[in-house]
Amino acid sequence: MNGTLIATTLGALLTLAVYSFLYKDNPFYKFAEHLVVGVSAGYYLVIYYYNFIAPNVMSPVFLLRSGSTEIRFLGMDWWMAVIPGLLGLLLYARFFPKIGWIGRWSLGIYVGGYSGLEIAPVMQARVLDQIRGGALPLTSLTNVLLVVGLLGTLTYFFFSLKHKGVLGGLARIGIVFIMVGFGASFGYTVMSRVSLLIGRMNFLLHDWLHVV
């Protein structure tokens, strides 16, 4: 039995173990579930270490190298690696109840810094670009539908006035567009899941059993 056949057989058995949950919860499914979680955690731990921790912390701090550039001990580049590394370590203080509060410093700096860096791009992408995209000339049916859908959806979430008359009509139009959007999203999700199922069935019947 060669390595390819062994790997294919293991993959097929794990696939069947996962699908056994369709009958009821059982030890085979639990084993496959825990195996996936454990392997994924180990895999991403290695990826994060070699892609982020090693080049951004370990190498500058202990080897005094940032990429292909040598850095000076106790210099600015060295401290720029040491400080984030120490803040990252402080996050693990939560495992020790007596000093767990120290981890809030790192968490506060991380959340505050990330928020400050992301406010401008998010405002640009999700607010300004959306406003610019909604300012369309009513020269085609597509543009009319986009503008009406935008106004109707915004009106539906405007609760300062009762949804009566024109406002109520726009709100009902907004409900229609919202439902269409949710339906399309749900349909895409179902389609992607069915695609995964077809792929697994093809693997079992073609690659493993060779009956198709």
pTM: 0.67
- Could you write out the DSSP letters of every residue in 116-163? HHHHHHHHIIIIIHHHHHH---S-SHHHHHHHHHHHHHHHHT--SS--
Q: Give the residue ranges of the chain where pLDDT is below 50.
A: none
The burial class, CB within 10 Å (0-12 / 13-18 / 19+), for 155 is buried
- The SS3 call for residue 2 is coil
Tokens standing for residue 33: 């579930």
Phi and psi angles of residue 24, each rounded to the nearest 5 degrees, phi first: -175, 165
Spell 121-141 as b/e; 16+ CB within 10 A means b. eeeeeeeeeeeeeeeeeeeee
- Which pLDDT score is estimated for 31? 96
The helix/strand/coil state of 209 is coil
Q: At a CB cut-off of 8 Å and minimum separation 6, what does 73 contact?
A: 64
pLDDT at 11: 92
pLDDT at 128: 87
Helix 76-90 to helix 103-123 angle, to the nearest 10 degrees?
110
46-103 residue pLDDT tens: 999 999 999 999 999 988 888 788 888 888 888 999 998 999 999 999 888 888 899 8
pLDDT value of position 49: 93
Residue 131: the pLDDT is 83
8 A C-beta contact, residue 29 and residue 20: yes
CB count within 10 Å of CB 116 equals 9
Task: Please give the helix or strand (H or E) that residue 65 lies within, else none.
Answer: strand 65-66
Q: Give the model's pLDDT for residue 138.
A: 85
CA 28, CA 34: separation in Å to the nearest integer?
10
